Chains A and B, each alone.
Chain A
Amino acid sequence: MRNIWTIAKKEYDHYFISPIAYVVAFAILLAIGVVFGINFFYFTQNAYQNFGAVPDISPVTGVFVFLLVLSTPALTMRLISDEARMGTLELLLTAPLKDSELVIGKWLGGMLYILTLIAVTLIYPIMLNGIKIGSFTLLNGFVSPGIDMNIMLTSYLGIILIAGVFLALGTGVSAMFTNQIAAFFASFALFFFLWWLVGFPANVLTGSSAEFFRYLDMQSHFYGALSNGIINLSDLVYYVSLIALGLFTGTVAVEMRRWR
């Protein structure tokens, strides 16, 4: 446990001295900010006419998970591949540290970074929640409870789980490569497949085979449930198993390096 933390902390610190992490943070926060701004603008404009307009966080969270597909490969590509390239992997593999601790530590470092980013985006729900349309008597009462807390909490849980999956799979892929650009594209291809392609057969098939592909589809577990405030055990199992799969693959890949 202590070793995992030592590795995670080093990785976390490293993100704040690497340009890539800042570029990723800038891109994600800018995109979310723009989407939020536009939605906020339309919401306040429409609030006069539209009785049912309730401030909603899903435009922010919906964009966030999409951006994770594009940005997490950049966060994970160098995690292990760069250690191999620089020769420092030899240092870590001869330190009293299990291969699994190394991989989990690397993943946790990425997780802490994403959690920091997620914490920054909490400004949006706080702002939405603080909208005082109470001065317009007509609308008073409709929005006074603020945003739907269930949707917000499950959406954020979904974001954390999806980030966890991408980072775990990305760490696993990084362990297989010595070149970080190769690791980037391999992870990106894998995420693209899981996010957009794997669920595709569900549209043309019927019956249990359609169900099977629908279950494999990463999107459906988020947009179909978590982003609507619904927590299904099957969705959590799906994401947690993918995290475990990524970390396991990474550990095996590190172990295989010893045999080369």
Chain B
Amino acid sequence: MIQVNGLIKDYGARRALHSITFDANQGEIVGFLGPNGAGKTTTMRILTGYMPPTDGTAIVAGYDIVEESLEVRKRVGYLPETVPLYTDMTALEYLKFMADLRHIPNSKDRAYETLEQVNLADRANGYIGNFSKGMRQRVGLAQALIHRPEVLILDEPTIGLDPAQVVEMRNVIKEIGKDRTVLLSTHILTEAQNLCDRVLIINKGKIVAEDTPENLQSRLVGSQRVVLRVRGDSDGLDSTIKKVKGTTRIETKDEETVEFEFSSGQDVRPQVAKAVIQAGYELIEMRPVGMSLEEIFLELTQDTPTGKKS
């Protein structure tokens, strides 16, 4: 659905994209992860036909983005980072206008249907200028969905939303991503983790990593670290854990807490829990502290990686 090959973009003397190559298939949600100014928006603007690339090619929904820009634009839904809305129009008027631009028959009905899809039908006749940030974001999404596009490109779709709205927006995106191609950018790592089938980490105009969120984690961290906490006396706890096969690097943090590691391949947590309880300790907590996507991200996007925190 999206095939990008050696995309380069120069802004004057500054090179914003250094030969980016990736693809995205139908029914796949691909996350574009990177710090601000990494080139996420530039890539998206090129793929949506807003601006031409300096060099390289991209095929979106089967059409070349430069040669057949209008065909691409017919098949792509795009939600830019600053949601483009006419604040003096009602939500329904706005969506009808967008539907008319895309030659959709019965544009008013379609506009209403799409508002229902983003749970805004009850405010169809409200002026966009009076809408909250979350509602505006949903109108923007409705605009991107109105022509039932094959490819959906969303630039920071959950930015500025409150937690409940973020969850709601993610659910809508997940639903859409079932049968269509979604490319979304974000700098929120949990979002990429929750939402995406595949993550592209981009920094300074280059793709520095590409994999599923899980693989990215295990690729960078060979072993998983677990914190274990008991109530009361913890004398001999470390030696109890040491007896369980597969545990390494056991470390007593304080009176109640012990940290240990095991290799990613074999999960020994059940055995450790059993051994600790059988030894008479009151186990109250056991949680992984494995290197989060956050740390991976920082490691990949910084010139001099900071030391791992344990």
- Which residues from chain A sit less than 8 Å from chain B, CB to CB? 2-3, 6-7, 10, 14, 17-18, 86-98, 258-260
CB pair B50 A90 closer than 8 Å: yes
Query: Within the complex, which residue of B45, B73, B83, B87 is in contact with A95, where a contact is CB–CB below 8 Å?
Result: B73
- Contact segment of B98-106, B212-220, B256-264: B98-106
By a CB distance below 8 angstroms, the chain A residues around B80 are: 87, 90-91, 94
18 examples of A-B residue contacts, CB within 8 angstroms: A2-B103, A7-B101, A10-B97, A86-B87, A89-B84, A90-B45, A90-B80, A91-B84, A93-B49, A93-B50, A94-B48, A94-B80, A95-B101, A96-B74, A96-B101, A96-B102, A259-B51, A259-B52
Contact pattern, B 32-59, Cβ under 8 Å of A = 1, otherwise 0? 0000000000000100111110000000
Q: In terms of DSSP, what is the predominant structure of the interface of chain A?
A: helix
B4 on the interface (CB 8 Å rule)? Answer: no
> A88-B85, A96-B102, A97-B73 known; 14 other A-B pairs, CB under 8 Å?
A18-B88, A86-B84, A87-B80, A88-B86, A89-B84, A91-B84, A91-B98, A92-B101, A94-B50, A94-B73, A94-B76, A94-B78, A95-B98, A260-B51
Q: How far is the CA of A209 from the CA of B40 in the complex (A)?
A: 56
Q: How far is the CA of A97 from the CA of B101 in the complex (A)?
A: 7
Number of A-B contacts (CB under 8 A): 61
Q: How far is the CA of A90 from the CA of B41 in the complex (A)?
A: 12
By a CB distance below 8 angstroms, the chain B residues around A87 are: 80, 82-84
Q: Considering the complex, give the chain B residue whose CB is closest to the CB of A18.
A: B88
Query: Which of A7, A17, A96, A258 has the most B CB atoms < 10 Å from its CB?
Result: A96
B185 on the interface (CB 8 Å rule)? Answer: no
Q: How far is the CA of A7 from the CA of B71 in the complex (A)?
A: 19
B289 on the interface (CB 8 Å rule)? Answer: no
B70 on the interface (CB 8 Å rule)? Answer: yes
Q: Name the interface residues of B74-117: CB closer than 8 Å to any CB of A.
A: 74, 76, 78, 80, 82-88, 97-98, 100-103
Query: Which of A17, A93, A94, A260 has the most B CB atoms < 10 Å from its CB?
Result: A94
Query: Which of B73, B78, B84, B101 has the most A CB atoms < 10 Å from its CB?
Result: B101
Q: Considering the complex, give the chain B residue whose CB is closest to the CB of A86.
A: B84
B143 on the interface (CB 8 Å rule)? Answer: yes
By a CB distance below 8 angstroms, the chain B residues around A94 are: 48-50, 73, 76, 78, 80
CB pair B51 A258 closer than 8 Å: yes
By a CB distance below 8 angstroms, the chain B residues around A260 are: 11, 51
CB pair B70 A98 closer than 8 Å: yes
By a CB distance below 8 angstroms, the chain A residues around B73 are: 94-97
By a CB distance below 8 angstroms, the chain B residues around A7 are: 101
Q: Considering the complex, give the chain B residue whose CB is closest to the CB of A102.
A: B101
For the complex formed, measure the closest distance between the CB of A18 and the CB atoms of chain B, giving whole angstroms.
8
For the complex formed, measure the closest distance between the CB of A237 and the CB atoms of chain B, giving whole angstroms.
32
By a CB distance below 8 angstroms, the chain B residues around A259 are: 51-52
Q: Considering the complex, give the chain B residue whose CB is closest to the CB of A98.
A: B70
Q: Considering the complex, give the chain A residue whose CB is closest to the CB of B52.
A: A258
For the complex formed, measure the closest distance between the CB of B67 and the CB atoms of chain A, giving whole angstroms.
15
Q: How far is the CA of A106 from the CA of B143 in the complex (A)?
A: 21
Q: How far is the CA of A47 from the CA of B104 in the complex (A)?
A: 61
Q: Which 3 A-B pairs have the closest CB atoms?
A: A91-B84, A88-B84, A96-B74
By a CB distance below 8 angstroms, the chain A residues around B84 are: 86-91
By a CB distance below 8 angstroms, the chain B residues around A10 are: 97
For the complex formed, measure the closest distance between the CB of A16 and the CB atoms of chain B, giving whole angstroms.
11
By a CB distance below 8 angstroms, the chain A residues around B102 are: 95-96
Q: How far is the CA of A87 from the CA of B70 in the complex (A)?
A: 20
Query: Within the complex, which residue of B82, B85, B88 is in contact with A17, where a contact is CB–CB below 8 Å?
Result: B88
For the complex formed, measure the closest distance between the CB of A61 and the CB atoms of chain B, giving whole angstroms.
34
By a CB distance below 8 angstroms, the chain A residues around B87 are: 86
Q: How far is the CA of A213 from the CA of B73 in the complex (A)?
A: 46
Q: How far is the CA of A95 from the CA of B52 in the complex (A)?
A: 15
By a CB distance below 8 angstroms, the chain B residues around A18 are: 88
For the complex formed, measure the closest distance between the CB of B231 and the CB atoms of chain A, giving whole angstroms.
56
Q: Considering the complex, give the chain A residue whose CB is closest to the CB of B99.
A: A6
Q: How far is the CA of A260 from the CA of B85 in the complex (A)?
A: 22
By a CB distance below 8 angstroms, the chain A residues around B51 are: 258-260
For the complex formed, measure the closest distance between the CB of A101 and the CB atoms of chain B, giving whole angstroms.
10
CB pair A6 B50 closer than 8 Å: no
Q: How far is the CA of A12 from the CA of B73 in the complex (A)?
A: 25
For the complex formed, measure the closest distance between the CB of B146 and the CB atoms of chain A, giving whole angstroms.
11
By a CB distance below 8 angstroms, the chain A residues around B82 are: 87
Query: Within the complex, which residue of B50, B76, B86 is in contact with A258, where a contact is CB–CB below 8 Å?
Result: B50
For the complex formed, measure the closest distance between the CB of B52 and the CB atoms of chain A, giving whole angstroms.
7
Q: Name the interface residues of B141-155: CB closer than 8 Å to any CB of A.
A: 143
Contact pattern, B 176-208, Cβ under 8 Å of A = 1, otherwise 0? 000000000000000000000000000000000
By a CB distance below 8 angstroms, the chain B residues around A6 are: 97, 100-101
For the complex formed, measure the closest distance between the CB of B147 and the CB atoms of chain A, giving whole angstroms.
9
CB pair A3 B101 closer than 8 Å: yes
By a CB distance below 8 angstroms, the chain A residues around B76 are: 94
For the complex formed, measure the closest distance between the CB of A258 and the CB atoms of chain B, giving whole angstroms.
5
Q: How far is the CA of A90 from the CA of B45 in the complex (A)?
A: 9
